[in-house]
A and B are shown apart, each in its own frame.
Chain A
Amino acid sequence: MEYLSHIVNLALFYVALTVSLNLILGYGGMASLSHAAFFCIGGYVSAIVTLQLSANFLVGVALAIAMTMIIGGVLAAPFIRVKEEYVLLFTLSFQMVVYHLMMSMDAITGGDSGIFGVPLPEILGWSPETPTQFLPLMAAVLVLVYWIAFKVTRSPFGRVLKGCREDDSAVSSLGKNVLRFKVTIFMVGTGVAAGVGALFAHYTQFINPSVGSLDASILIIAMVVLGGTANLMGSAVGAILLIIIPEILNFIPGASDLIVPLRGAIYGILLIVFMRFRPEGLIPEYFHLGKGEKKDGLTQKAKGSDETVTRKENSKDAQVPQCKVVLEVSGLSKAFGGLKAVDDFSISLERGKVTALVGPNGCGKTTAFNLITGFLRPDTGKILFNGRDITNFSAHRMPQSGLVRSWQDVRIFKEMTVLDNILIARQNQPGELLSQLFFMPWKVKQEEAQNLKEAYTHLKTVGLLEKQMELARDLSYAEQKLLAIARMLASEAWILLLDEPSSGVDPNWVDHFMKMIRNLALSGKTICLVEHNLEVVRGVSDTVYFMAGGRKISQGSFEEVMADPELGEIYFGV
């Protein structure tokens, strides 16, 4: 009986660990090879604090969590600048460093043999002495871990996190600070791992470096992947299977020199079979989508509530444009090596007006967009938004100021639902802050209801309401383009920079799109578009800029610019 309870406890420990890694790997998209190291650090910190300082068990756990979160935060900060392979390398190095420190710092960690006699957990005088007695405590901890993970992932915060996993720059272009989200989730994940590790040390009354080995880190990754990344139930299934299977295999009788390798082989083959038939994990991320579960509850709420939430502009950057010229760009230049991609380019966008940028492929239109929206740093030049210098703002601050751009190659979040693609766009959602998520849930809920309501309006505008619960990757190219435009509208920006919005969409939509642009301009938005479809340019634009070779060649009304003989030669090849 105690053996069975112990196995169950062990499985629950791993479920908690797997859930915490799933936050980092499945939702945050960071493949961390050092999860067991954090688990181990938690165990050591709590063991040392309780033994050396005779502190209470709860103090030990709290310190373990706090310390590990700080270490995790520092480790994750450079992730924003490195590619996925480097995250692996980074965390692998950290894992090795921690392991060898534990092994070599004899005086503190007890070296290879570890620390014995860690006190049993003690809460208000109660102390579980057997695995069976420990079981309710472990179950309660797991419920807590699940609650935190559920809350974090099913929230505006979780939505942005998934966005980061898909496409960092698209998330930045919607005004979200990718670094903050990635570091936060890494801290939460490692904090949970440390808490669980501390509990483990007290449960077994012992901690040594072997529990924090690379093998253990890899096992936890295997549990996440087997169960299904970005699915919390999957983590439970993955962890339990990988703990239970070897225990069951132990019951296969036979001579040990024969049966031990055989058990290993069966275990390996089983894993391969699982991955062959369920490559996305046993419970994939969107398992529920096929089962007809919809956000009906939320939908009802959104439709049912008549109270309009008055929205405060809570960003220090956001301001309604007052000037006539909302965006003034002057003398912008950018060179790549010897090639001047943009050369002394100036443009001014007036409030409520539509400006089009035309020119042959490779003439610097998209580079100009990248410079204006902070995705590239200009070599020279100045960008004034509403009279304020924003030249060196980072990309994610632009949408917060009210300037948002779309991408030629669409960049929607393909592994998210159509609806989530829209919901993510709103600026400064309270639910994007964990503090508000946990301590002011009512505020988050209220804002989310409003967000949902507006999202439906935007989906209706582009005709994608019917497809709200489909994954964006299943949309056709043209529908993806429409989704990208709806996402932009949902960001509530004042200036919209559109990169080839009508390419690849059918003529009917183009007509509808032109009307939409005109209406947006009438409502006071400022629009600048890069476009090859000259019917669109003629139909919507007040001013046209013609660019070639990185420079502005001419500027004026559509007719004036089209009459330019140089344009005919460069652009139409006549």
Chain B
Amino acid sequence: MLLKVSNLDVGYQEKQVVFQASLDVDAGEFVSLIGHNGAGKTTLLKSICGYLHASSGEVNYKGEVITNISPAINVRKGISFVHQEKSLFPKLSVLENLELAAYAIDKAENLKERLEGVYALFPILAERRKQMAQTLSGGQQKQLAIGMAILVQPDLLLLDEPSLGLSPNLVKELGKALKEIQEMGMAVLLVEQNVKMAIALSQRIYVMRTGQIILEETRDEMKRRDSLWDLF
């Protein structure tokens, strides 16, 4: 088991948002977390990576307890996080953004190969590597953010709503890229409001409602449902 989250409680100040959440992700597996507005998906994802403090429960990664450890340490252990809103440096060039991402690891010597890997997945980034990140289109910015996350070649990629604000053609491209990322051997934990895309990509899906995980199903089980409405 790559990631095992057990009975996590998370909240903001006095208000608890996530209650006793448990989930797991195997090495190389693609898992999605879906649910209604404000169900606590983002909160849970952030607390797994250490952006938010869990008041109780445990996050276990590769057999090691990493509950409430800073994201800066987690990224060295192999967990990358792509935020919902902009997670790049708008006034730096594409290349500078990628180079900055490499600071997370101390293996700058093979930076060139790593960059090639990212460029192979997102060719447009190579073309635009000198352009300031904020001048990229929405879809390209998303690609850059994901590129930065996979540059460190993590074992686990946490993605918070990557499809947000993308037109259908770009959502399709994003789906393809995520599939390739999984084929490269990375495990993915995806939070998505685009349920169709999430189900199409995932082996297993967790459903959250008002702070609790209420269901875990495989893709086939999920596909057999007539309607997904009752889950929300």
A-to-B contact residues, CB < 8 Å: 290, 359-362, 408-409, 470, 474-479, 482, 500, 503-509, 511, 532, 534, 570-573
Cβ-neighbour of B229 out of A470, A507, A532 (below 8 A): A507
Cβ-neighbour of B166 out of A361, A470, A505, A508 (below 8 A): A361
Give the shortest distance, in Å, between B87 (CB) and chain A (any CB): 14
Chain A residues, CB < 8 A from B15: 470, 474
Asked if residues A478 and B167 are in contact (CB atoms below 8 Å), the reply is no
Asked if residues A476 and B37 are in contact (CB atoms below 8 Å), the reply is yes
Asked if residues A573 and B193 are in contact (CB atoms below 8 Å), the reply is no
Give the shortest distance, in Å, between A407 (CB) and chain B (any CB): 12
**Residue-wise interface mask of B (87-107) relative to A, using a CB-CB cutoff of 8 A (1 in contact, 0 not):** 000000000000000000000
Asked if residues B161 and A504 are in contact (CB atoms below 8 Å), the reply is yes
What are 20 residue pairs bridging A and B, where the CB atoms are less than 8 Å apart in the complex? A290-B14, A360-B170, A361-B138, A361-B167, A362-B138, A409-B85, A474-B12, A477-B42, A477-B85, A478-B37, A479-B38, A500-B165, A504-B84, A505-B37, A506-B35, A506-B37, A507-B229, A509-B36, A571-B169, A573-B169
CA distance A359 to B167 in the complex (A): 7
Asked if residues B137 and A361 are in contact (CB atoms below 8 Å), the reply is yes
B-to-A contact residues, CB < 8 Å: 12-15, 35-40, 42-43, 84-85, 137-139, 161, 164-173, 193, 195, 228-229, 232
Asked if residues B168 and A475 are in contact (CB atoms below 8 Å), the reply is no
The verdict on A571 contacting B168 (CB below 8 Å), with A476-B38, A508-B36 known, is yes
Chain A residues, CB < 8 A from B161: 477, 504
Chain A residues, CB < 8 A from B85: 409, 477
Cβ-neighbour of A506 out of B43, B139, B232 (below 8 A): B232
Give the shortest distance, in Å, between A284 (CB) and chain B (any CB): 11
Asked if residues B37 and A532 are in contact (CB atoms below 8 Å), the reply is no
Asked if residues A362 and B137 are in contact (CB atoms below 8 Å), the reply is yes
Give the shortest distance, in Å, between A549 (CB) and chain B (any CB): 12
The verdict on A573 contacting B164 (CB below 8 Å), with A479-B37, A507-B229 known, is no
Asked if residues A572 and B137 are in contact (CB atoms below 8 Å), the reply is no
Asked if residues A478 and B38 are in contact (CB atoms below 8 Å), the reply is yes
Asked if residues B172 and A408 are in contact (CB atoms below 8 Å), the reply is no
List 7 tightest A-B contacts by C-beta distance, closest first.
Answer: A478-B37, A573-B169, A362-B137, A476-B38, A508-B232, A506-B36, A361-B138
Asked if residues B36 and A534 are in contact (CB atoms below 8 Å), the reply is no
The verdict on A475 contacting B38 (CB below 8 Å), with A504-B193, A507-B195 known, is yes
Residue of B nearest to A478 (CB): B37
Give the shortest distance, in Å, between A182 (CB) and chain B (any CB): 26
CA distance A219 to B33 in the complex (A): 51
CA distance A476 to B161 in the complex (A): 12
Chain B residues, CB < 8 A from A478: 37-38, 193
Asked if residues B84 and A360 are in contact (CB atoms below 8 Å), the reply is no
CA distance A474 to B164 in the complex (A): 20
Give the shortest distance, in Å, between B209 (CB) and chain A (any CB): 10
Chain A residues, CB < 8 A from B166: 361, 532
Chain B residues, CB < 8 A from A506: 35-37, 39, 193, 232
CA distance A354 to B141 in the complex (A): 31
The verdict on A360 contacting B165 (CB below 8 Å), with A476-B37, A506-B232, A507-B228 known, is no
CA distance A266 to B137 in the complex (A): 53
Cβ-neighbour of A572 out of B43, B172, B228 (below 8 A): B172
Asked if residues B170 and A361 are in contact (CB atoms below 8 Å), the reply is yes
Chain B residues, CB < 8 A from A571: 167-169
Which of A408, A478, A534 has its CB near the most chain B CB atoms (within 10 A)?
A478
CA distance A23 to B190 in the complex (A): 44
Asked if residues B164 and A503 are in contact (CB atoms below 8 Å), the reply is yes
Cβ-neighbour of A532 out of B13, B39, B165 (below 8 A): B165
Asked if residues A504 and B164 are in contact (CB atoms below 8 Å), the reply is yes
Residue of A nearest to B164 (CB): A504
Asked if residues B42 and A360 are in contact (CB atoms below 8 Å), the reply is no
Q: A475-B38, A476-B37, A505-B37 are in contact. List 10 more A-B contacts (CB 8 A).
A: A361-B139, A408-B165, A476-B40, A477-B85, A504-B84, A504-B165, A506-B37, A507-B228, A508-B36, A534-B168
Give the shortest distance, in Å, between B137 (CB) and chain A (any CB): 4
Asked if residues B165 and A503 are in contact (CB atoms below 8 Å), the reply is yes
Asked if residues A507 and B232 are in contact (CB atoms below 8 Å), the reply is yes
Chain A residues, CB < 8 A from B137: 361-362
CA distance A492 to B195 in the complex (A): 34
Give the shortest distance, in Å, between A116 (CB) and chain B (any CB): 55
The verdict on A360 contacting B169 (CB below 8 Å), with A477-B84, A478-B193, A503-B164 known, is yes
Chain A residues, CB < 8 A from B165: 361, 408, 500, 503-504, 532
Chain B residues, CB < 8 A from A572: 168-169, 172
CA distance A409 to B85 in the complex (A): 9
Chain B residues, CB < 8 A from A532: 165-168, 171
Give the shortest distance, in Å, between B64 (CB) and chain A (any CB): 30
CA distance A573 to B168 in the complex (A): 9
CA distance A479 to B137 in the complex (A): 25
CA distance A409 to B141 in the complex (A): 14
CA distance A454 to B172 in the complex (A): 42
CA distance A572 to B164 in the complex (A): 16
CA distance A408 to B164 in the complex (A): 10
CA distance A506 to B14 in the complex (A): 26
Chain A residues, CB < 8 A from B171: 532
Chain A residues, CB < 8 A from B43: 476
Give the shortest distance, in Å, between A105 (CB) and chain B (any CB): 45
Give the shortest distance, in Å, between A153 (CB) and chain B (any CB): 24
Residue of B nearest to A569 (CB): B169
Give the shortest distance, in Å, between B3 (CB) and chain A (any CB): 23
Give the shortest distance, in Å, between B180 (CB) and chain A (any CB): 17
Which of B35, B43, B85 has its CB near the most chain A CB atoms (within 10 A)?
B85
Residue of A nearest to B228 (CB): A507
CA distance A361 to B142 in the complex (A): 12
Chain B residues, CB < 8 A from A361: 137-139, 165-167, 170
Residue of B nearest to A408 (CB): B165
Residue of B nearest to A573 (CB): B169
Chain A residues, CB < 8 A from B173: 573
Which of A408, A505, A532 has its CB near the most chain B CB atoms (within 10 A)?
A532
